[in-house]
Amino acid sequence: MRRPFRAVPILERRIKPGSTVYADEANSWNPLHYAGLNMKRINHQRAYSDEEA
């Protein structure tokens, strides 16, 4: 997604409580974390996937 920050308000409305959200470490996804969602983050400089994300 070219501009993930545009997706954040939509995702905040659509993600069901208790869901786990998987995202990279881009700062634009931080509002989802701050909203109290269960987030799993991945650092793509180290890996594209791991056991957590």
Per-domain boundaries in the chain: 4-42
Q: What's the CA gap between 36 and 53, in Å, rounded?
A: 18
Helix, strand and coil content of the chain, in percent to the nearest 5, comes to: 35, 20, 45
pLDDT, one tens digit per residue, over 2-21 is 565 677 888 888 999 889 98
Q: Which one, of 31, 40, 25, lies nearest residue 7 by Cα?
A: 31
pTM of the full structure: 0.65
Question: Please, are residues 35 and 29 in contact by the beta-carbon 8 Å criterion?
Answer: no
pLDDT at 52 over 70: no
- The residue among 46 and 26 whose pLDDT is bigger is 26
